[in-house]
Amino acid sequence: MNFTYLDVAKMIDHSLLNPTLTKADLERGIAISLAYDVASVCIMPYALKWCAEKLAGSNVKASTTIGFPHGGHATRIKVAEALQALDDGGEELDMVVNISRVLSGEWDAVREDIRAVIDVTHARGQKVKVIFENAYLNDQQKIRLCEICAELNADWVKTSTGYAPGGATNEDLILMRQHSPANVQVKAAGGVRTLDRLLEVRALGVTRSGATATIAMLEEAKRRLGLPPDPNFAPIVEGQANY
């Protein structure tokens, strides 16, 4: 084996962003995240404070979204969202760029929008993942966003929200890794549902992946590594979304 359990578990941001999830679904998702010791729980903003309280004392970070999923919020609203999330215990914020302005070539406005969220978040010692929504962009736009994120010291560049057509493609991941400095990590979102796919994107330089099929992927990792299954959440159907 060329990976350890934590190598793959700590790649996963367990996604709890589906708007139809109930409070019981969210509670189960947090329990899954703790049981499998993933990197973070990325939860709907209204539930972040409650989530952070449940994760307190663990090695799982509390995260949420900013300007999600369309990115068209006014910058001051994104900043307000970020400040609220930080007050609520958010440690990593996944912000969506202003897609309309990217497509319009309004790069100064795009830069200031990203900068505003990064600045307030870094001032509080926390981290930002910048979501491009690559399904709507051409390669030159993706490259320009990588350059801007490098200038602003973003912590991650991220392929997508998971709600646009398509998800994380190998071509996009390779391009984003090639055009980002070493200090800017790459996150894949959309379509990473099996351990083999998680290992594939890892080989391309991805350090995080948004996921709902967390149980299936990490139970398969345990099986391959000869580790015991989790008694509470295994077995489940391979690739099934689970919360």
* Residues labelled as active-site residues: 94, 158, 187
Q: How many helices (H) and strands (E) does the chain have?
A: 10, 8
Report the phi/psi class of residue 82: left, alpha or beta, with left for phi > 0 and alpha for psi in -120 to 50.
Answer: alpha
Do 64 and 93 meet the contact criterion of CB atoms below 8 Å apart? yes
Output 147-151 pairs: Cβ under 8 A, ≥24 positions apart: 147/179, 148/107, 148/110, 148/111, 148/114, 149/114, 149/180, 149/184, 150/180, 150/181, 150/184, 151/111
Report which residue type is found at 137: L
Angle (CA) 9 14 19, round 5°: 170
Q: How far apart are CA 37 and CA 241, in angstroms?
A: 18
Tokens describing residue 146? 């990588």
- The residues that bridge with 86 in the sheet, in sequence order, are none
